[in-house]
Each structure stands twice: as C-alpha cells, then as structure tokens.
Amino acid sequence: MTVLLALDGLRVEFPSRRGDVVAAKNITLELNAGEILGVVGESGAGKSTIGNAAMGLLERPGRVAGGTVTLEGRRIDNLPPEAMRQLRGARIAMIFQDPLTSLDPLRTIAEQLVTTIRTHLPVGEAEARRRALHLMEQVGIPDPAVRIDHYPHQFSGGMRQRVVIALALCAEPQVIIADEPTTALDVSIQAQILDLLRRLVKDSGAGMIIITHDMGVIAEVADRVAVMYRGDVVETGPTAKILGDPDHAYTRSLISAVPRPDVKLERFPLVEHIESAGPRRDLDLKTHWLGQRRDYQEVDGPLLAVEGLQMLFRTGSLFGGGRHEVRAVDGVSFDIRKGETFGLVGESGSGKSTIARLITGIYRPTGGAIRFAGTDLTTLRSRTALNRHRRQMQMIFQDPYSSVNPRMIVRDIVAEPIRFHKLAGSEAETRRIVADLLDHVGLGARAALKYPHEFSGGQRQRISIARALATRPRFLICDEPTSALDVSIQAQVLNLLKDLQDELGLTMLFISHDLPVIRQMCDRVAVMRRGQIMEIAETEALFERPQHEYTRHLLDLMPKMVKAGDERRTAAG
C-alpha cells in the first residue's frame, strides 16, 4: 500500500514567556492512498496542530521542533515558504473548520473558485467556471448558476462550508486534511458531503485525514482512527475496533459522552478521564446578581408567540438584470412557553438562524408579528422600548470567537451589556458581577484579565454564556451553541445550560442541526424546510412517531447509537 503522508516523531512547540508549550509530542502516523484516517480528541488535544504542521501553516511562534513530515516520499517540513506554497492546493489541501476565515468577503464565489482552479490547472476562464459550477453542484449548493456570483456573506454557515470544500477540491490534490469539515452542516447535507469525500478518495486514490469531534462522521467514513489526548496519540486502530471495543480509558470515556439519539437522559455523561473546565460555585439566588428581582412583566400565556412571520431578502444589482428574491422565512408560526426549551431543526438555509435574528431585532420582518411578553416587537419604534425588551433576551452564537471582540479582555466583554443597559451602580459593582458570572460558568474570576485567544473553543463559549447572562435575561436564544465543540466539552456546556435553566427559570429557543442534542435538550421541536415549518411536536413524540415525511427523512440520516455487549458504540445510521 502506497504511503502518501507520513508524520514521523513530529513534535510541535509554541514558545512563550512561561516556557515552551508542547502541542504535539512524538506523533507518528501514516496516511495511505485510498484511505480515510480519522483523528479525534478533546479541544486542545493537538488535532488541528498536526494538520497545520503538515500543511506548513503553523501560526507563529509555533514551530516543528522535531521529527519529519513526508509527502509522497518527499520531506516537506523543511521546505522554503515559496516551495511549500506551490504544494498547497496542488498536492495537499485543507478544508478548514471556520469557513469565514477561508473565504475573501470582498470577492464573489466565482472569482475565488476560478482563480484557484486557474492557479493550479492549465485551463482557460470558461473551463475554470464550468469546473467551478460542477464543484458547487457536487457539494450540494442549490441553484449554483445563480449562487456562484454571490458573495460569502450571502450564504448561510453551512453553505459557506460547502464552498470551502469545493475550493479544497479544485486542483484534485492527492492528500486532503479536513478539519471539522461538516461541523456547520445539517444531517442531510452532511450525508451528501461525506458521500462526496468517500467517492473522491475511492475514485482518485487520494488520501484524507478527517479531524472531527463527531463520532458519527468517524463511523461513517473513517477506515482507521487515531485518538489524541494532550498532544499524544493514545490509541490507533481500525474504526470498528476503536468505536466498538476501545482499549484506552480516555477513548471509552470519550465515546460515552456522545449524545444518545435513542433515549432521552437527564444529563449528558461527562468525559471522566479528563478534568472539567472548573467547578461552578454554588449559587445562592438570594444574594447572587442573577437571582435579584427583575422588573419583567409577568404573562399568563406563552412568553414568545411568532405569528405568520415572513422575511424576504433581495439580492443582486439594483439596476438591470440579475436581481433575485429569497423568501428565507415564509409564514412561520409557533409559541414558546415560560420555562420551556423549544427546538428548531432543519437544513442549512432553512431559515432557523434568520428567525433568531428576527426575534432579537437584528432583522426587521417583512410580515407577521413577534409577541414577546404580550408586546408585538414589530410595532415598537422607540429605542428605549426596544432596549427594554432586548435586555430580557440574549443570544448565544454558533462561533464564540467571532461573536466577541478579540481586542477586549474578558472582563470588558462580559461587562459590555451591563454598562450599556446601566444595570450596575458603579464600576466596582460591575467588576464584582463579572467575577461572579465567570465563577458561575466554571471559568473563575481570574479569567477576567485574559483575552479570548487564550482560551479553548469550549471556554470561549462559556465566556459567551456569561455575557448572555449579564443582563439577567429570561429568554435565551442558543444558535448552534455547541456545534464547533468536541463531545467532551459539548457535554459540559449543555449540562451548564440545563443547570442555568433550572436555577434561573430561563426559557430557551435552541437551534441546532444535531438531532441527538435536540432530543436531549428540548421539550418541543419544530422542523423547518425552505422557510416553512413542516411539523411541531413534543420531542419524544417527534423522535418516536414523526408525522411528516421530511422529519422521517432527517431521522433516517441521523447517526445511531447501538450496544455491543456492555459497550456503546457509534454506527452509521
């Protein structure tokens, strides 16, 4: 069997004032032609580090301090920057986790795809555009002839990720490193992408390393699996062996934390082999900032009622042809009861996140009503009245890093809504509140003086939760709050949200494409498709007895958890 990529004794260090941080220790892995190698592990285990090292994309001052990286028999870790640039894209390519950092916001998708194709392949403009359209079709972008001339901001998160995958495939590379390639994708598009990646490897003889926290993805596509923990590879073997009968305690614990799609549990099992983000201080609601009386109007009916909601986006030029209308939300109605967690699921681009932005006032609807605590928010024109209601609702976004200011320390990030709404009597009180909030989400008061880049993805999401709680809201909108997190950190964050809901009486709108997470978190669920609601039902009824054909289709695509003896393992659904 031909070895395409080999890491031999790879050691990666990041020098700092406190000494060298070793992100990868003596990593030895091989990727064979026609093979998909899965790499799993908790946030900060070093998974992305070894991918970046292989690509020559380590962020300074990171460096390869030992070992070698060999591509098709040629050592590449010591190549000059220009020689490495010629290899990237042509012989070895990467699909990044965050599509926004991979796309140029000032250039259309057509410009970016065509330029990449012509850089690596001897084809003309017309042929490059034809190939670009074919790639967009392959990765499941609807109406590619129109969408190819749009800009990245005109795509949903899932569709942007599909464009990034198309970019990586442009020059038909022999080695592809996919870093969380399906994180932002719903189950139906994920199935299409995974099928595409499988066929690509099979038909071309290429090799792929897929870095992911999703055990369902590993079960679906990986031939072999390497499990990483604190910069080490602790276990490697065939996928069936690793998922069905792992040897290492960390692997067994990691698999146990995968959300169950077959039964609802009170709490998510934690990865006991590793330490948690930190203990939460016991909450005394009588004295704690979060438990103080809030001047919110009580309501007898639903806290939130959405009636006939519509949102129409117009794209293209104001002059001449090419102008299009996209009906992102089309006559949607639902209500959320006080203290309930209401789930929204559906494909990428189905309108889920648009609804969240309409409720919070980021967008103004083109039709319908949004009644919050008995008031139709669409009729409010006074900024004071709008702010009074917006203080009662907060949003936790999918990407915690892009939703905070990287130049602000954590204390100021969390304090910003307190200062904006004038909720504290002094700066000293503001700082005390921030310290209490950071303690309560498991970060500790000392985190206040650090910057966002000093934290892992799971810790950054805890910062976002602390900021969202800073106004003492009664309604939280969670838009894919754990989709970018591995299963161990996901379990911690979701348990935290459950605890906060119980302690504070929060009402939540929970948006996710992860159906097992929806089953564990939600009381009722609405299934969306193309801007419309297909079905609303109690969670257990929806999973056990789905009424709509589309709901049944989504559930059929969901990775299943089955028992093998006393062990739980993941199998493709």
The domain ranges of the chain are 1-91+173-261+559-573, 100-171, 289-558
pLDDT tens over the chain, length 573 residues: 799 999 999 999 988 777 888 889 999 999 999 999 999 987 778 888 999 999 999 888 889 999 999 999 999 999 999 999 889 888 999 988 777 778 999 999 999 999 999 988 899 999 999 999 999 998 888 899 999 999 998 887 678 888 998 998 888 899 999 988 877 677 777 787 788 888 888 888 899 999 987 788 888 899 999 999 889 999 999 999 999 899 998 888 888 878 877 778 777 776 666 545 555 655 565 566 676 666 677 888 899 999 999 999 876 654 445 567 888 999 999 999 999 999 999 887 789 989 999 999 889 999 999 999 989 999 988 888 888 888 899 999 877 777 788 899 999 999 999 999 888 889 999 999 999 889 888 888 889 999 988 887 778 888 999 999 898 899 999 998 887 677 777 888 888 889 888 888 899 999 988 888 999 999 999 999 999 999 999 999 999 999 999 999 989 887 654 433 334 333 333
**Topology of domain 289-558, CATH:** Rossmann fold (3.40.50)
What do you get for the CA distance between the two ends of the chain, in Å?
A: 30
Collapse the DSSP code of 27 into the 3-class scheme (helix H, G, I; strand E, B; otherwise coil) and give the result.
strand
CA distance 143 to 116: 21
Collapse the DSSP code of 218 into the 3-class scheme (helix H, G, I; strand E, B; otherwise coil) and give the result.
helix
> Is-same-fold flag (1-91+173-261+559-573; 289-558)?
yes
Compute CA distances 334 → 366, 524, 534, whole Å: 17, 11, 12
Structure tokens that stand for 137 in this block: 């079709």
- Contact residues for 197 (Cβ-Cβ < 8 A; gap 6+): 36, 176, 178, 181, 208, 210, 221
Alpha helices per DSSP H over 245-300: 249-256
8 A C-beta contact, residue 464 and residue 404? yes
Please choose, from the candidates 32, 25, 24, the residue with its C-alpha nearest in 3D space to the C-alpha of residue 51: 24
8 A C-beta contact, residue 270 and residue 488? yes
Beta strands in 230-386 (DSSP E): 232-238, 304-315, 324-336, 341-346, 367-372, 375-376
Pairing of strands 63-71, 3-14: antiparallel
Pairing of strands 475-479, 507-511: parallel
Helix axes 457-469, 487-504, angle to 10 degrees: 10
Pairing of strands 341-346, 324-336: unpaired
Residue 64 bridge partners (DSSP):
12
The pTM score is: 0.75
- Architecture of the domain whose range is 1-91+173-261+559-573: 3-Layer(aba) Sandwich (3.40)
Structure tokens that stand for 57 in this block: 């994309």
